[in-house]
Every structure is written in structure tokens, then in C-alpha cells.
């Protein structure tokens, strides 16, 4: 699913080489551009326009010495025609500050069948010498290739233009005009960038009788200035860069933007003023799409016989959709939002997220089970209760299945009670490796649009118990007098931990490569080691925990210090993290991938002639978002270490980042702690 068919210039947005943070899927286009022949622009001596020359002495926005470039000026002018078509002009000019900023000299514009780029010009104003100019005829045009979701057919295309001499000290800029025929009269103005912005402007021209509604996100509202009859302009200045931080919310959850809904006389085809309207709109798109064909009815009957219990029927249908319907996205025109008919998806055995949800909903309905579309973002934090209704905040579709009365199976954990619709189970038919009844961590506690028959509502999906996701690791080990550690370790992985391992290993064919996750784990904790045996189980059975079992030998694990032997009770496994140990203060919330409960238990048999002299103290660190507990005990000739790490709240606000940093430091210290062994009788 994408938002290209809305009145949004998302397909027109520039993607720069340094813009992987903003537009990660566009990197392939950059790579292809570099490989295509004949794309060297024909450089002309031509004066840059006055609006660019006015920037040569403009003050730079606040920035630090690591800033690669700054956006000196950004202007978007949108002129709405009485017939609903749109014409617009976009201007941007960057000043390159460091060699790493040269990527801002490459312009890539994305457009589709409902959008036409009528002109494109670009210029460079060097610090010394004459201006350079490149024109529309110097662009390369190519199809848009997706690299994330499998195969993709789309009408989105790309214009690529290289601005010459994008060197430090120079100013590069471009201007293009476009025409749009939108399905939804709603626009997104992104005025915040990965680099500082000096001056950003947005102008809206409406026909007589038309109105608008503007909502600001992640930035204080700026007033509109009326420049003429039904013409308004918004301006923002000195906007700081959105710098990437590890485990931050997605771009649209943190960057400043304005959503503009345009309302024609009579309100037909207007932008969404509330979530209910957006739900009604999506309901309209799906009308008739879930009508079953005779072939679908026959297949549903074969999958879920009349004698089967309702839960068994749902599981059979879910498995069929997950494993037999390939993910292939075909998004032409409004196909970015509208699912294909279930009959087409079934016949061809492929479809994207909304197609797979549509076919599953159709087959469930044949069984007498209702289900509802849920439009959502694949990353938590992209949409919140403060977000205004707009389709651009979402990129995925799943299902909310109304559970028949009497079903109380404990495996159905991703559920919530809806006051009107009853008990709902949330399920992602696109996710091949997450069992029916569960939900991967990124969707948990996430907000999605629940599309009910009478409209839509923004709904927070359930958060599953931490014990349903994590690693249970147990080691039965022995230490000899030379400090060599040997023994067996067994890992049981459930939830996302199991899913990630299955996904990483699904294309591995060599047995030697199957133990690489074990080798990686061991190498992070041990200096030298040898894996003597390794097996895995339940690789294909996604309803069961995934397991690793291995044996190893690690020389010099115990460190001799005189007649003492120093041993680290926490043998393998790292729960600490140094990602927050930066000089710059944290600006955005920290997002855990999901609720987690990991546990370790290591029993180490002491070498003959040694006894425990000193043990690390127990650790009990408990915060609202996570907790860590460990204990080292001695019993007879055995040293026993146990610990648990649990994530309880998935979002850590900036106000609690110091507590999270403190927790990681506590864990790091505990993972380094040693027990002291001494000769018996000393």
C-alpha cells in the first residue's frame, strides 16, 4: 500500500543520496542511476534565477560543524483549479558545506499516471565563476523499482537530474512545475529536513467558494497570511535538522509537517476532516472487492470443512493466505489504496498486503466470520492520537477478525474488546512467519485506522505479554583447572525472536551457515571458542518455539590470578547497549521493537580443588519501561547465574532517556562481573 493516489506530492518529492533516512526505498534508484550510460548533463552557461541569487548573502540557519548542507530556501505554490485539477511550482536551494553534502546536487522526482511534471530546471551558483544550468531535456527517466516487498508493478516513474559542481561553498537549486489530478484533496507539506532549513514557504490558491483546513504536526502552528482573494501563505524559519537516532520513531512521527485538506463547494471529494470520514472513503474503495467467486467458495469449503471448529477454520484459512498467496504488489492509479478483487487475487495467487487481507476477509465471510480492514504503519509512532486523518500516515493493511462467541483459546493473544464490534483478533496475513493469534512487535501498541461499516476510528492495537517474545537460554557447563569452559547450551526462541531467526535462515542451504547465529552470539562474549556440535529444531513449524542446541569448548575462559581463578558467571548473551552513549542529547523517543522477556540460566561446575571465595552482588533494576534482575549463587561445587530482562513499555519518552541509559550501564557492569574461586582450604 502507498499514498501516491492522494492529493499529496509524495511522488514528486526530491530524493537525495543522503536521504536514505527520509526515503530508504529509493537507494536502488540511485544505484541504477550511477550505472546508466549517457546521463552526464549538458552543462550550459546560464544565469540562475533571481530567487536563487537573492540567497547568496542570506544568513545560514543554525547548524554545527558536522552539517553537510543547509536548505536556504524552500517554496511550494499550489493552485487549485475549479475542475479539481492542481498546478504547482516547487523551488529549493541548498548550500553545500562539506564534501559529504554533494548528494544534494542530484535531483530525483517521482511521479505517476495522475501527475505530470511539465518543466524542470536546475542551477549551480559557484562561490567563484559563472552559473551553471541544466534543463529538463538533460534528465533521465526510468521506472520506480521497489526492493522491499518482493515483485512490484507500478505506474510511478522517476526523473533524475544531476546539478554540476555541487561542491562546498556553492549553492545548488532547482525548480519544477507539475499538474495533478488527485483522488483526495489533501496535501502534506514537509518543511523539516535531515538538514537545517532557513526559510520554507507554502502558498495555497483556491477557486472562489472553496475552503481549506490546515493541521500542524510536530511543530507549533504558524498563522496563514492572506495574500489575495482565496490565496494564503504559511512561512517557517530556522527549522533544525531531524538527525537520525537509533530506534527512533519513523520520519512522519517526528518531522514537522502541515496537512492541508481542501474542501470544494458541497464537500464532494474533499480531504478528510475526521477518521470516520476516512473510514467511509476506504469502505467505498472496497465495495464489491470481497464478493466471493465459486472457486473461492470451493477452496474455503475444502480448507475448512463443516465439521471443523471455528478456530480451526480460521487457522486453515490464515495458513493458506500466508503461504500460498505470494506477495506481489501491482499498484496502478488508485491501486495504491484500492485492493484488487478477491477473485483476481485467488486466481493469480498473488497480491500485496491489502489484497491478501481482502481474500482472507472474503474466505472468512464464507465461514460466517466478519472481519474489518485495519490501515496501519509498519513502524510504531508514525501515527498517534494527535495525528490528523490522512492516508499518507499509513503504508500497510491488516485485518481485525471478529471472534465468534465462545472462543477463548489462550493462543489468541492479539485481541481487544470493541464496544460495538465485540472481541477482535488482529492478524497480519502478509506476515508469513507470525502464527495466527499473535502480532509482531512493531504493530503492537501501534495506532491503525479500524474501518468499520459505519466509518473509521483510530484504534490502538493490543500489546502482548512480554513472555510471548524472547529467548530462554540455559547452559549446563563445566570449568577445568586450566580455565577451559565446556558444555551445552539450549535456546528456546518465541515471538519475534523466533520469527527473526526463521527469516534470516530461510534461504540458507549449507549446514555450516546454519550455526552462524550461534557463532555470532559466542563471539560477542568469548575470546576463543570452538563449537563442537549444533542443531536446530522447529524451523518450519511456526506455531512452535524455534530452538538452538549446541556444545562448545572455550579455552582461557577462567583467568588465573595467583592461586585464584576468576570466572564470569554471565557466559554468553548481551543485553546492554551503548547506542545512547553519545555527546548529543537525545531528541526523540526510544522505540523498543516490542515487549520482550529474555532469561538466562548458566550452571557452571567448579574444577576439582576449588571453592567460591567471592560472588558478584545481585542486581535489581526496575523502571517503568523495563527491568533487569540477576543473581549469582553457589551450591556445593556449582556456580549458578540467573537473570531476566523484560521490556514493559514500548516507547521511552525523552524525559526517561537518562533512566534507560542508566539501566544499560547497570546491565553492562553486571555482564562483566566475575566470581572469584580459590583453592579449597585457603
Q: What is the pLDDT of residue 19?
A: 30
DSSP 3-state assignment of 656?
helix
Q: How confident is the model at residue 144 (pLDDT cuts 50, 70, 90)?
A: low
Alpha-carbon distance of 273 to 199, in angstroms, equals 29
Position 269 confidence tier, pLDDT thresholds 50, 70, 90: low
| Whether pLDDT at 4 is above 50 | no
**Quick one: 119 exposed, middle or buried, by C-beta within 10 A (0-12, 13-18, 19+)?**
exposed
Q: Which of 25-34, 479-488, 514-523, 650-659 has the lowest mean pLDDT?
A: 25-34
For cell 520554507, what's the residue? 200
* Of 27-31, 478-482, 648-652, the least confident: 27-31
Q: Which residues contact 162 (CB under 8 A, 6 or more apart)?
A: 39, 40, 41, 105, 106, 107, 134
pLDDT of residue 24: 29
Determine the pLDDT at residue 182: 82
Confidence of residue 33 (pLDDT cuts 50, 70, 90): very low
pLDDT of residue 50: 95
Can you tell me the mean pLDDT for 539-557? Answer: 94
Return contacts of 294-298, CB within 8 angstroms, 24+ apart.
295/343, 295/346, 295/347, 296/342, 296/343, 296/346, 296/359, 296/362, 296/363, 296/366, 297/366
The DSSP symbol for 59 reads P
Residue range 254-263, pLDDT digits in tens: 999 999 989 8
Find the range with the poorest average confidence among 306-315, 342-351, 393-402, 461-470: 306-315
* Residue 114 confidence class, pLDDT cut points 50, 70, 90: confident
Find all residues with CB under 8 Å of 250, minimum gap 6, and list them: 377, 379, 381, 382
Q: Hey, what long-range contacts does 575-578 have (CB within 8 A, 24 or more apart)?
A: 575/628, 575/643, 575/645, 575/667, 575/671, 576/664, 576/665, 576/667, 576/668, 576/671, 577/664, 578/664, 578/668
| Number of alpha helices (DSSP H) and beta strands (DSSP E) in the chain | 11, 38
Which string of DSSP letters, residue by residue, matches 522-579?
A: HHTT-SS-EEEEEEEE-SS-TTS-EEEEEEEEETT-SEEETTEEEE-S--S------T
Encode pLDDT of 36-56 as tens digits: 333 344 445 568 999 999 999
* Percent of the chain's residues with pLDDT above 70: 90
Chain-centroid distance, C-alpha 218: 18
- pLDDT for 111 equals 80
Mean of pLDDT values over 289-318:
92
State the average pLDDT over residues 562-577.
Answer: 94
- CA distances in angstroms from 107 to 48, 78, 173, listed in the order given: 16, 20, 9
Distance of CA 196 to the CA centre of its chain: 24
Mean pLDDT within 477-502? 95
pLDDT band at 143 (very low <50, low <70, confident <90, very high): low
pLDDT at residue 494 above 50? yes
pLDDT at 638 exceeding the cut of 50: yes
Specify the pLDDT at position 18.
29
Higher pLDDT, residue 35 or 183: 183
N residues, the chain: 682
117 has pLDDT over 80: yes
Give kind and range of the element (H or E) at residue 605: strand 596-605
Determine the average pLDDT of the residues in 317-329: 92
Q: Is the pLDDT of residue 332 over 70?
A: no
Average model confidence (pLDDT) across the chain? 88
Predicted TM-score (pTM) above 0.75:
yes
Mapping DSSP onto H, E and C, the string for 328-353 reads: EEEECHHHHCCCCCHHHHHHHCEECH
DSSP classification of residue 391: G
Alpha carbon of 439 to those of 244, 343, 415: distances in Å? 27, 27, 10
Predicted confidence (pLDDT) at residue 89 exceeds the cutoff of 90? yes
Question: Which of 255, 379, 259 is CA-nearest to residue 6?
Answer: 259
pLDDT tier at 1, thresholds 50, 70, 90? low
Q: What is the mean pLDDT of residues 100-129?
A: 90
Given a cut of 50, is residue 14 above it in pLDDT? no
Domains in the chain: ranges and CATH = 10-271 (2.60.40.3140), 277-463 (3.10.620.30), 467-679 (2.60.120.1130)
Q: How confident is the model at residue 583 (pLDDT cuts 50, 70, 90)?
A: confident
Backbone angles phi, psi at 96, to 5 degrees: -80, 130
pLDDT at 112: 77
Spatial separation of the C-alpha atoms in residues 78 and 91, rounded to whole Å: 12
Share of the chain above pLDDT 90, in %: 73
Q: What is the pLDDT of residue 270?
A: 67
Find the mean pLDDT for residues 447-462: 96
Residue 370 vs residues 366, 410, 420: alpha-carbon distances, Å: 9, 21, 13
Q: Is the pLDDT of residue 202 over 80?
A: yes
Q: How confident is the model at residue 181 (pLDDT cuts 50, 70, 90)?
A: confident
- The answer to whether residue 34 scores a pLDDT higher than 50 is no
When pLDDT is cut at 50, 70 and 90, the band that residue 392 belongs to is: confident
pLDDT of residue 256: 95
Please give the DSSP secondary-structure letter assigned to residue 116: E
Which is more confident, 475 or 160? 475
Q: How confident is the model at residue 252 (pLDDT cuts 50, 70, 90)?
A: confident
Amino acid at each position: 500500500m502507498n499514498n501516491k493516489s492522494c492529493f499529496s506530492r509524495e511522488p514528486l518529492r526530491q530524493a537525495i543520496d543522503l536521504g536514505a533516512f527520509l526515503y530508504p526505498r529509493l537507494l536502488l534508484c540511485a544505484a541504477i542511476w550511477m550505472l546508466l550510460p549517457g546521463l552526464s548533463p549538458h552543462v550550459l552557461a546560464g544565469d540562475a534565477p533571481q530567487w536563487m541569487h537573492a540567497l547568496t548573502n542570506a544568513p545560514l540557519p543554525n547548524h554545527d560543524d558536522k552539517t553537510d548542507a543547509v536548505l536556504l530556501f524552500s517554496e511550494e505554490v499550489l493552485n487549485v483549479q475549479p475542475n479539481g485539477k492542481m498546478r504547482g511550482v516547487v523551488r529549493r536551494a541548498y548550500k553545500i558545506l562539506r564534501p559529504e553534502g554533494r548528494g544534494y546536487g542530484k535531483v530525483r522526482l517521482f511521479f505517476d499516471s495522475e501527475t505530470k511534471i511539465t518543466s524542470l530546471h536546475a542551477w549551480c551558483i559557484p562561490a567563484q565563476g559563472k552559473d551553471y544550468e541544466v534543463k529538463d531535456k538533460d534528465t533521465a527517466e526510468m521506472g520506480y523499482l521497489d526492493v522491499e516487498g518482493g515483485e512490484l508493478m507500478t505506474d510511478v516513474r522517476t526523473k533524475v537530474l544531476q546539478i554540476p559542481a555541487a561542491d562546498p561553498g556553492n549553492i545548488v537549486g532547482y525548480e519544477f512545475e507539475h499538474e495533478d489530478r488527485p483522488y483526495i484533496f489533501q496535501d502534506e507539506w514537509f518543511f523539516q529536513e535531515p538538514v537545517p532549513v532557513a526559510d520554507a514557504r507554502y502558498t495555497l490558491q483556491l477557486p472562489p467558494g472553496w475552503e481549506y483546513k490546515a493541521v500542524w504536526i510536530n511543530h507549533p502552528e504558524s498563522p496563514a497570511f492572506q495574500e489575495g482573494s482565496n490565496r494564503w501563505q504559511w512561512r517557517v524559519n530556522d527549522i533544525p535538522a531531524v538527525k537520525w537516532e537509533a530506534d527512533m520513531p519513523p520520519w512522519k512521527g517526528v518531522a514537522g509537517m502541515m496537512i492541508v485538506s481542501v474542501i470544494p463547494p458541497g464537500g464532494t471529494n474533499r480531504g478528510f476532516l475526521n477518521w470516520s470520514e476516512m473510514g467511509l472513503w476506504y469502505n467505498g474503495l472496497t465495495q464489491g472487492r470481497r464478493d466471493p467467486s465459486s472457486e473461492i467458495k470451493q477452496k474455503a469449503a475444502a480448507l475448512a470443512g463443516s465439521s471443523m471448529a471455528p478456530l480451526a477454520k480460521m487457522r486453515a484459512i490464515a495458513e493458506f493466505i500466508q503461504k500460498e498467496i505470494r506477495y506481489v504488489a501491482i499498484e496502478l492509479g488508485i491501486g495504491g489504496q484500492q485492493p484488487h478483487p478477491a477473485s483476481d487475487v485467488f486466481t493469480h495467487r498473488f497480491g500485496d498486503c491489502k489484497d491478501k487481507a481482502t481474500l482472507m476477509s472474503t474466505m472468512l465471510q464464507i465461514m460466517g466470520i466478519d472481519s474489518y480492514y485495519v490501515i496501519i504503519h509498519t513502524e510504531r509512532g508514525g501515527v498517534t492520537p494527535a495525528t490528523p486523518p490522512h492516508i499518507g500516515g499509513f503504508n500497510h493493511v491488516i485485518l481485525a477478525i471478529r471472534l465468534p462467541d465462545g472462543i477463548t483459546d489462550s493462543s489468541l493473544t492479539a485481541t481487544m474488546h470493541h464496544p460495538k464490534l465485540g472481541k477482535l483478533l488482529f492478524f497480519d496475513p502478509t506476515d508469513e512467519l507470525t502464527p495466527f493469534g499473535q502480532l509482531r512487535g512493531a504493530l503492537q501498541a501501534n495506532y491503525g485506522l479500524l474501518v468499520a461499516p459505519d466509518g473509521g476510528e483510530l484504534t490502538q492495537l493490543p500489546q502482548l505479554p512480554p513472555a510471548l517474545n524472547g529467548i530462554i537460554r540455559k547452559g549446563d557447563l563445566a570449568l577445568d583447572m586450566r580455565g577451559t569452559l565446556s558444555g551445552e547450551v539450549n535456546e528456546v526462541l518465541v515471538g519475534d525472536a523466533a520469527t527473526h531467526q526463521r527469516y534470516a535462515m530461510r534461504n540458507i542451504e549449507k549446514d555450516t551457515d546454519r550455526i552462524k547465529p550461534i557463532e555470532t552470539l559466542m563471539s560477542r562474549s568469548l575470546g576463543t571458542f570452538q563449537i563442537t556440535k549444533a542443531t536446530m529444531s522447529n524451523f518450519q513449524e511456526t506455531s512452535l518455539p524455534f530452538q538452538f542446541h549446541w556444545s562448545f569448548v572455550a579455552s582461557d575462559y577462567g583467568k588465573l590470578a595467583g592461586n585464584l581463578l576468576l570466572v564470569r558467571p554471565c557466559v554468553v548473551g548481551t543485553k546492554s547497549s551503548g547506542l545512547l552513549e553519545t555527546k548529543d542529547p537525545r531528541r526523540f523517543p526510544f522505540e523498543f521493537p516490542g515487549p520482550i522477556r529474555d532469561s538466562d540460566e548458566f550452571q557452571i561446575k567448579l574444577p576439582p580443588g576449588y571453592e567460591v571465595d567471592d560472588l558478584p552482588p545481585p542486581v535489581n533494576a526496575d523502571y517503568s519501561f523495563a527491568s533487569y534482575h540477576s543473581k549469582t549463587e553457589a551450591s556445593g561445587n556449582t556456580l549458578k547465574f540467573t537473570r531476566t530482562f523484560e521490556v514493559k513499555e514500548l516507547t521511552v519518552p525523552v524525559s526517561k532517556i537518562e533512566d534507560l541509559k542508566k539501566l544499560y550501564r547497570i546491565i553492562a557492569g553486571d555482564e562483566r562481573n566475575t566470581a572469584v574461586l580459590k583453592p579449597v582450604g585457603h
